[in-house]
Every structure is written in structure tokens, then in C-alpha cells.
Structure 1
């Protein structure tokens, strides 16, 4: 019996000389992204204390929520469009309209950031904390990583990202010393991210000095066309990163700090699949344009392998949660171990969703269906979050996150299967 996709053939295609080098470089960046919070957050929890760290974690949550307004899903749709562009002229047009669209989106991001800061009891409307959050959010959203990913210029993208993290780590270690330095810690992160993001934008725009020009109408067209992806990305970030913010409303600053600390362990680990996604998305997009079912089979094989690997990792984290939490964050955070034990199982579920939603469905151009999936997931997440976090604090929020990830995987798999089935029927009918 012949397998639908030969594993040796698949490995040969992915592990070409350039593909293998890209994989090594991107995994280096993501490993550093995994190590960076494990160096930064233990430092912050000990120097800022529970109260100071709860403000920092909540402010960073606000930053992530505002970043989705500026990013607008272009990290997915922009990558796809750049990867499939016919020539430099078309790429320059894409760069121009997306860059202007992101610049225009900074204004609503500022308004939303101030609204979030004013309504959260942990931040308490502090203008300095809110401004730092907005600066981090806008800097994250303006990143040109989408362009370098689509062009497969992985080395440059990795160099920019790692250099920003190193600047942030060293500056925080040297300058943040006391519980009153929360705003300083946030400002350092804002500056480090802004340097790398704007540096990437500058390099990107220099590639198309004449072609990367756009007007407001073209930017608005980009916003209209990218709206389904924006809705889906917004919902993903809301259910994925709003936990600390919601806990500040429904529970206490201590539970928000516990959840924020646990999330910093889980989030990078759950994102370790994204480097492979960086390499696979352009390839899956090309494969899906020729044979959608073959792209689905490829994604299915990757899901099976990564799901088993991440489940094994989740079991290890769950069993070792009490020791991990105490060693990494200090004795003052030991009460957050149950949160980490539950949140560990988000890793395999989030990894599967990264493949099905962010890779396969994007490659199949199911933008509207992606929006349906993540909006439904966000509704499930927010409804369960307010109910469970009110009664069970950080553990309830972790359970809500796991429930939403499982729901999204089931719904996305069903819609993809139905689309492929209808596509096969149409193909057969035309023969």
C-alpha cells in the first residue's frame, strides 16, 4: 500500500540546502524566543515582586491586544501574497499598500490601547503604563517579518529579531532593580522592539524605492481584502493573550500574575512550531494551488507527528509544574503551579491549530472560513473565561483556554474536510 505522501519525498523537498538552512536559522530564533522569557521573567518576578509583575504582565497583555490592530493579519495574508507575486513590480505594490495601511492603523490602536488601560483595575488608567503598552503594541504590529518570510530572507529576519531580544534582556538586567521600575521595564521592551521593527521596515522599503508607493485608496483596499484574516487574527490573539487582562477584571492581581507567569512558559513552547510554519506556508500555498488534497495530506502527516510530540511535552510540564514554577519564578509564585499544570495541555492543541488554521486553511485561501472558526472560538473562550475565572481564578482561565483551543481544532478540521470534499465533487463533475 502506497502512502498518500511519501515521507522520504517530503523530507527531500523540505530539507533542501536552502530549506534546511532556513529551518536551522528560524528554529534558532524561536529557541532564543523561548529562552528569552525564561531569563527575563524570573528576573522581573524577583525584582518587581507580585504586584509590580502583575502590572507588567497586564500591560504586556494590553500591548498584544493593540498589536493585532496594526498587524491586521498581514503576517499571514502578506506573506502569502509576497510568496506568490509574479515580479518585483507586484511585490512593490504589495509592500506599499500594506505599509501605508499599517501606518493608518496606528491611530485606532492608540485609542483602543487607552480604552483598555482605563478599564483594567490592575493598570488603573496609569498614563505612563498605558503609553508604554501602546508603544509595544504598535512596534510589534509594524514588524516587516511578513515580508522577509514571504521572500524567504530568513537570516535577516532572524538577525533583527534576536538582536532586539538581546538589547531588551541586557538593558533590563542592568537598569531594572526595584519594584518601582515597572514602567522602566516596559519602556525598555518598547524601545528594543521598536528598533528592530522599524529597522526591518526601513530595509524592506529600500528594496522598492520607486514601486513601494501607495495612496490611501489602495491602503483601504488592502484593509477591505484583508478583513477576514484580520477578524480571525484578532480572535486568535483575544482568546490566546487576553487571559491576564480578563483576570484583572474578574479575579485578583495575584491570579493575573500567576497566569501571566505560566503563560510565559507555555506560549513560547506552543509557538515552537511556527518556525516550521514559516518554511511550510509558501510551499503549502504552492502545493494547494496544484492539488489541494495533497496539501491536506501533507498537513495531516505533520499534525500527527507534532501532536504526539507536544502531548509528551505537556505531560512532562504538567507533572513537573510545582518544581518548575518555584525554581523559575521564586517561592512567592509557587501558588501558580496548578495554573501551569492545566495550561500545559494547551501546547499540543495550539500546535495542531497552527498547522490546520494558520497553514492549511490559509494555503487553501479559506479566509472567510478561518474568520468563522476563530470568531466562534473567541466566543467560546470569552464566555467560558468570565465564568470559570470568576469561580476558579487562574486555573479556570487555563481551563477556558484549553477548551477554546480544542473547539477551534474540531471546527477547523470539519470545515477543511467539507471544503475538500466539495472541491473534489466539482473537479469530478467537470471531467
Structure 2
């Protein structure tokens, strides 16, 4: 059983990450009436497209290190030399991954292939700033050490300051160019300050290129899981914009932000208990050791269903308050997307609480990857005739299929644990 100190550590870090998650959820929600009402559906759709493009590209640099490197930090157990070595390898690995991504972005912009969405330098700078801010965030280091309180506080303060400046200075379509730096500077500043913080704790980055390549090679399955699990919600506005235009993105964006926030509410708790279950289940799994993760998954599923019911009740009112007129298709899209909430939360829980800690990262990551690609393809295909509603249908259907697949994996792990118990008897 976890010790009292371990439980206290989980509580502290879960609370800190919930503070960040709450602000991460509320800030985009409060941005909706500021940006949507001031800029209109077309310019708002432009910003959503650029944000989605940057976040999608950042997944290639984040590379699952929020799970993989955090797990390695937890195992390193405060050994300074190991932490310096690990931090150096991860930073260098991210630099190696970022080079081709940045080069491709600049090539697309320079050749005019994306003039409809990246027509001027300000938009390109906005995408690159967002890309570096989220791709290079070192929160994995603090998460693995179970010291999330202070980094979380910094993140909260910067986000709220950015929101306040948006509310004061963005008043109409003429303020479109001003909105870009106000959106990009807070996350970029947060990443810069936390990187400096890590540098002060672990020392200078050593040029361990071979170790960086080893991190990339050994972390591939975590990359597949992490990128695939986020790819759907990150890449959807990009594909929707390409298939149906900026207006479709503007209508899809507000309900998508609401749903994305709901589906992410369980993640702070999952990331807080992930190191605990990783240590407990790394030595082998039997029926006794699996009892706690199974109870935890069940409790999360029940809460997810209850939360979805609340979302169904409050959704129409929230959209009306946030958007006003001009976003006619958003309500129907929300009604379809709300079904994704409990499915995605349970899928995240099964993967992080049971499958990865018991050594099933590879099959889980490939299942999630395949289903995520399928969801994007199905949604993009349906969005051609049906716009954002078609995208929502594709996401919902494939998320349900993924739940069936991951539940099958969970059942096999449980049966294996029971078989282990019988052999010991």
C-alpha cells in the first residue's frame, strides 16, 4: 500500500496539476468571447487554425517525454549526475526533432503553399512561438520529481496575465495582429523560465548526442502513444480548415475547446498517480496489485459519466453566453462531441493507470495511434460534405471503437494476473 508520504505527494502534485488544468481549461474558454466577438468567425478561425498547427507540430518534439522522461526522473531518485544526464539527453533529443519541423514550416511559408492561412510574417512568428513554447516545456522534469506546485503557480500567473491583456486591448477586427503576441508570449515565457529553473538545478546541458538518439529510439512507443492520444484534438482544426475553410474552424473551435477541457480534467490526477503505479506494477502484476488500478479506473469512469451529464445540461447555455450570434453550427457540433468526453477519459485511464505501468506500452500505443489516424481520416472525409458536424461524428465513432480495443487489452492483463496468482499457490 502507498505510504502516507506517498499519498501526500500525490495529493500535492495532483492539486498543483489541477490548478494548471483548471486555468488551462478556463483561459481558452474566457478567450472565446474576447476573440470570437471582437474578431468575428473568420479571423477567430484563422487564430484557431494557427494554434492547432503549432500544437500538432509540437507533438513531434514533445515526443512522449511527459510520460517517458517523467518516469525516468522518478526512477533516478534525486541522483544529481543521473538527472543532469537525463535532462541533457532529452533537451538535445528535442532539438534534433525540432530542426526538420521548423525547416518544413519555413519552407511551406516561403513557397507560398499556405498563403490562405500563413499569409504574413506575424502569423508565422505566432506559429513558431507556440511551437517552441509547448514542444520544449520541461514540466516532465518537475512531474517526475513530484514537485509541481511552484511551476504550476508560475503557469497560472502567466496565463491569467495574458488573458487580462487580451480583455483590455483586443476590441475589434483591427486588433487581430495585436492578439497574436498576447496569446504567444505567456506560454513562451513560461517555458523559458522553467528551462532556466531546471538549468539551475541540474547544471549545464552536456552534449551527449548518442544519449539523445538513444532517448529518441527508446521512447518511440511513448511517442506513438502520447502523440496519437493528443493528435485528434490538436490536428482536427488544421484538417477541418483545409477541407472546409476558416469559417468551419471558427464554428467548430468553441465547442471543441469546451470538450477538450472536459476530457483533460482527469489528466492531472492520472499524471500524479502514474509514477506511483509505475513503481508498484514494474516488479510484476498479480490479482492483488491490480486491484487498486482497477478500482481507480472504475471510479474515474463513473465520475466521467456524471460530468458528461452536467455538460449536456449546461452546454447550450454556455455556448449562447460565449458566442452570441454568428456561430449557427456550433450547438449541433457540441451535442455530438459531448459523447467523446467519457470515452476519452476512460481510454486515458486504462492506458496510464494499467497498460503502460504493466509493460504494455507498445500494443496500447499502436492501438491508440491507429485509431487516432482513423478518427482524423473519417472525420476529415465527413467534413467535406458536412463541415464541423461531420468531423464530430468521425471522432465520436472511432473513440468508441478504441474503448472496445483497450478494454480487451485490460481484460487480458487481468487474466494474466489471476493466472500468476494461481501459479504461486
Q: Could you tell me the TM-score, scaled by structure 1's length?
A: 0.90
Aligned-residue offset at 1:178: 2.4
Q: What does residue 25 of structure 1 align with?
A: 16
State the alpha-carbon separation in 2 of the partners of residues 64 and 132 from structure 1: 12
1:245 equivalent among 217, 228, 238: 238
Aligned-residue offset at 1:80: 0.7
Aligned-residue offset at 1:124: 5.0
1:263 aligns with 2:260: no
Q: What does residue 155 of structure 1 align with?
A: 149
Q: What does residue 288 of structure 1 align with?
A: 281
Q: What does residue 357 of structure 2 align with?
A: 363
State the alpha-carbon separation in 2 of the partners of residues 29 and 238 from structure 1: 21
1:306 equivalent among 291, 300, 303: 300
1:299/1:179 CA distance change after superposition, 3 Å: farther
1:209/1:270 CA distance change after superposition, 3 Å: same
| CA deviation map 1:129-166 (0-9, x unaligned) | 13311210121111111010000111122112112212
Instruction: Report the secondary structure of 2:387's partner residue.
Output: helix
State whether residues 356 and 409 of structure 1, in contact with CA within 8 Å, keep that contact through their aligned partners in structure 2.
no
Superposition map of 1:375-394 within 5 A = 375-394=369-388
Q: What does residue 218 of structure 2 align with?
A: 225
1:280/1:116 CA distance change after superposition, 3 Å: farther
State the alpha-carbon separation in 2 of the partners of residues 359 and 250 from structure 1: 37
State whether residues 339 and 398 of structure 1, in contact with CA within 8 Å, keep that contact through their aligned partners in structure 2.
yes
2:52 equivalent among 61, 64, 82: 61
State the alpha-carbon separation in 2 of the partners of residues 173 and 190 from structure 1: 15
State the alpha-carbon separation in 2 of the partners of residues 256 and 202 from structure 1: 36
1:90 equivalent among 82, 86, 91: 82
State the alpha-carbon separation in 2 of the partners of residues 114 and 407 from structure 1: 37
Q: What does residue 321 of structure 1 align with?
A: 315
State the alpha-carbon separation in 1 of the partners of residues 330 and 108 from structure 2: 25
Instruction: Report the secondary structure of 1:213's partner residue.
Output: coil
1:422/1:311 CA distance change after superposition, 3 Å: closer
State whether residues 290 and 417 of structure 2, in contact with CA within 8 Å, keep that contact through their aligned partners in structure 1.
no
1:284/1:400 CA distance change after superposition, 3 Å: same
1:194/1:106 CA distance change after superposition, 3 Å: same
1:235 equivalent among 228, 242, 246: 228
1:343 aligns with 2:334: no
Q: What does residue 108 of structure 1 align with?
A: 100
State the alpha-carbon separation in 1 of the partners of residues 209 and 116 from structure 2: 38
Aligned-residue offset at 1:200: 0.7
1:418/1:371 CA distance change after superposition, 3 Å: same
How many residue pairs end up in the alignment?
A: 421
1:361/1:71 CA distance change after superposition, 3 Å: same
| CA deviation map 1:171-206 (0-9, x unaligned) | 222332221433432222221111111111111121
Superposition map of 1:189-200 within 5 A = 189-200=183-194
1:249/1:417 CA distance change after superposition, 3 Å: same
Instruction: Report the secondary structure of 1:292's partner residue.
Output: coil
Q: What does residue 266 of structure 2 align with?
A: 273
Gaps of at least 5 residues in structure 2 are none
Instruction: Report the secondary structure of 2:237's partner residue.
Output: helix
Name which of structure 1's ranges 183-192 and 287-296 shifts more when overlaid on structure 2. Answer: 287-296
Instruction: Report the secondary structure of 1:332's partner residue.
Output: coil
State the alpha-carbon separation in 1 of the partners of residues 350 and 40 from structure 2: 39
State whether residues 349 and 405 of structure 1, in contact with CA within 8 Å, keep that contact through their aligned partners in structure 2.
yes
State the alpha-carbon separation in 2 of the partners of residues 224 and 428 from structure 1: 37
Instruction: Report the secondary structure of 1:304's partner residue.
Output: helix
1:418/1:161 CA distance change after superposition, 3 Å: same
Name which of structure 1's ranges 378-387 and 60-69 shifts more when overlaid on structure 2. Answer: 378-387
State the alpha-carbon separation in 2 of the partners of residues 122 and 400 from structure 1: 26
State whether residues 315 and 344 of structure 1, in contact with CA within 8 Å, keep that contact through their aligned partners in structure 2.
no
Q: Could you tell me the TM-score, scaled by structure 2's length?
A: 0.91
State the alpha-carbon separation in 2 of the partners of residues 359 and 182 from structure 1: 43
1:22/1:227 CA distance change after superposition, 3 Å: closer
Aligned-residue offset at 1:42: 1.3
Instruction: Report the secondary structure of 1:331's partner residue.
Output: coil
State whether residues 19 and 156 of structure 2, in contact with CA within 8 Å, keep that contact through their aligned partners in structure 1.
no
Name which of structure 1's ranges 12-21 and 403-412 shifts more when overlaid on structure 2. Answer: 12-21
1:39 aligns with 2:33: no
